[in-house]
Amino acid sequence: MNNFIKNNRLFAVLIHISVWAVLFSLPYLLSSGQSFDLQKIIEHSWIPLVFYAVIFYANYFFFINTFLFKKKVALYFISNAILIAFFIWLNFQLRVFFIEKFPTVEDVKRDFPPKRFFIYIDTLSLIIPLIFSITLRIYERWVKNEVEKNESKNTRLESELQHLKYQLQPHFFFNSLNNIYSLVDISPEKAKETIHSLSILMRYLLYESNVEKVSLKKEIEFIERYIDLMKMRTSEKTVVTVDFPILKEDLQVAPLLFISLIENAFKHGVSAINNSNIYFSIKIEGPVIKFETQNNNIKKSNADKSGSGIGLKNIQKRLELLYPEKYHFKIQENDQLFSTHLEIDTKK
């Protein structure tokens, strides 16, 4: 934000200098090849330009912010009316001065229009920089407000994403602890292996996933480790099939997007007494990642607290924040099967 304002101010200063340099040099450029009358240029070009500049910057730096933007409209118009009236009077005095001190043949022979004609012309010409200053100030204020609004929006989104990620990590950790707890009495050796695998996974969660995007290759490695950890809790009655690609070109993806779907598949797809099948698939089509899960839809009892239902809501919110209008997420469910299909377009 600060860098934007500094760069914007520097650019604005350069534009202002360039515009006034062109305006002051224009009479000389237009007289190229003809006689250059410095007196006429000063009288008819440079002095009015000085008046225009004073009116423009008096409004740009003071009157608009002090009066107009604070809704003191009457004071704003009175201040400008006094300033414009002063310059009309001063311009008339300078015309008289130049005619008396530096008379020309044209001035002696010419019949000058009435005074009110000069007042009318000067008023119109002095209102022009006033309008420009108002227009420019309003535009700059709008741009600043839009930048601040976007900055505020981005901060809010980052905060919300961070909250969702922190929400996911303990959820993941508690589910893993449930797995370890169930293995302690049945197979202490497996429980030890699970703890070791969990430590590797938590290291990824805490240190490698704390970025906006991660390598899809690393994310797949994390998923494979987690599936292996979850399989330790299942019996031979559960068949887990994994169809992940060998990546030729790596992609960047938001971390931990798929883990909730995998947790959900193990939560609802494993039966202690019946055969069950769980299927995971990742396919890559250009910049599009397609992730699918399919499992038996085994209803849990009310006493089962292995999941709180936070996962699917979490992923839906994160997708809306991270990939607005660049994802497709579909859930299909019947009495036998539960499946999800997620497509993400990673192209910027």
User: What CATH number has the domain bearing residue 307?
Assistant: 3.30.565.10
The domain in which residue 246 lies consists of 160-345
Query: Residues 6 or more apart from 76 whose CB is under 8 A from it?
Result: 63, 64, 67, 68
Q: How far apart are CA 52 and CA 62, in angstroms?
A: 15
Higher pLDDT, 288 or 155: 288
In a shared domain, residues 174 and 97: no
In a domain, 341, yes or no: yes
* Domain count within the chain: 2
Contact 306, 266 (CB under 8 A): no
Phi then psi for residue 200, to 5 deg, are -65, -45
Q: Of 28-32, 193-197, 201-205, 279-283, which gets the smallest average pLDDT?
A: 28-32
- What was the pLDDT predicted at 307? 47
- What was the pLDDT predicted at 281? 95
DSSP symbol at 282: E
In a shared domain, residues 340 and 274: yes
Residue 308 pLDDT level (bands cut at 50, 70, 90): very low
Contact 43, 95 (CB under 8 A): yes
Give the pLDDT mean for 154-169.
Answer: 56
Residue 99 pLDDT level (bands cut at 50, 70, 90): low
Picking from 149, 181, 203, the residue at the C-terminal end of a domain is 149
In a shared domain, residues 61 and 89: yes
In a shared domain, residues 285 and 177: yes
Judged against a pLDDT cut of 90, whether residue 347 lies above it is answered with no
In a domain, 154, yes or no: no
In a shared domain, residues 212 and 326: yes
In a shared domain, residues 6 and 27: yes
In a domain, 309, yes or no: yes
Picking from 122, 149, 176, the residue at the C-terminal end of a domain is 149
Cα distances (angstroms) measured from residue 328 to each of 19, 319, 341, 343:
51, 9, 8, 5
In a shared domain, residues 287 and 244: yes
Picking from 116, 149, 182, the residue at the C-terminal end of a domain is 149
Q: How far apart are CA 153 and CA 130, in angstroms?
A: 34
Task: Show contacts of 325-334: CB within 8 Å, 24+ apart.
Answer: 333/297, 334/297
In a shared domain, residues 106 and 14: yes
Higher pLDDT, 151 or 134: 134
In a shared domain, residues 145 and 202: no
pLDDT in tens, 3-50: 555 556 787 788 888 888 887 777 777 665 555 566 677 766 788 888
Judged against a pLDDT cut of 80, whether residue 285 lies above it is answered with yes
